[in-house]
Amino acid sequence: MSDRIQEHFGLSRRPFDKEVPPETLWMAGGRQQSLDRLVGAVEHREHALVTGEAGAGKTCVLRALRERLSPAHFRVVYAAHVTLGRRDFYRQLCYAMGVEPKATAAAMFEALQREITTSNSDHRQHAVIVLDEAHLMPDTTLSHLHVLANFQWDSRSLLSLVLVGLPELHARLRLGVHRSLLTRIGTWVTLEASSPELTVGYVRQRMASAGARQEVFTADGLSLLHELSGGVLRSVDVLAGSALRLAALEDKRLVDRDVVRRGAAGTPLY
Ligand SMILES: Nc1ncnc2c1ncn2[C@@H]1O[C@H](COP(=O)(O)OP(=O)(O)O)[C@@H](O)[C@H]1O
Ligand SMILES: [Mg+2]
Structural domains in the chain, CATH included, are: 2-24+194-264 (1.10.8), 31-191 (3.40.50.300)
Measured CA to CA, the distance from residue 201 to residue 222 in angstroms comes to 10
Instruction: Note the pLDDT tens digit of each residue in 86-130.
Output: 999 999 999 999 999 999 999 999 999 999 999 998 989 999 999
Q: What is the pLDDT of residue 244?
A: 97
Mean pLDDT within 72-76: 96
Measured CA to CA, the distance from residue 62 to residue 152 in angstroms comes to 24
Contacts with 103 (C-beta within 8 Å, 6 or more apart), sequence order: none
Task: Locate the ligand 1 atom nearest the alpha carbon of residue 237 and give its number.
Answer: 27
* More confident: 198 or 21: 198
Task: Locate the ligand 1 atom nearest the alpha carbon of residue 56 and give its number.
Answer: 22
* More confident: 151 or 6: 6
pLDDT cut 70: percent of the chain above it: 99
Crossing angle, helix 196-209 and helix 233-249, to 10 degrees?
A: 60
Q: What is the pLDDT of residue 150?
A: 83
Q: Whole-number mean pLDDT of the chain?
A: 94
Phi and psi, residue 177, nearest 5° = -65, -25
Mean pLDDT within 37-47: 97
Q: What is the pLDDT of residue 1?
A: 45
| Centre of ligand 1 from the C-alpha of residue 57, in Å | 4
Measured CA to CA, the distance from residue 262 to residue 258 in angstroms comes to 6
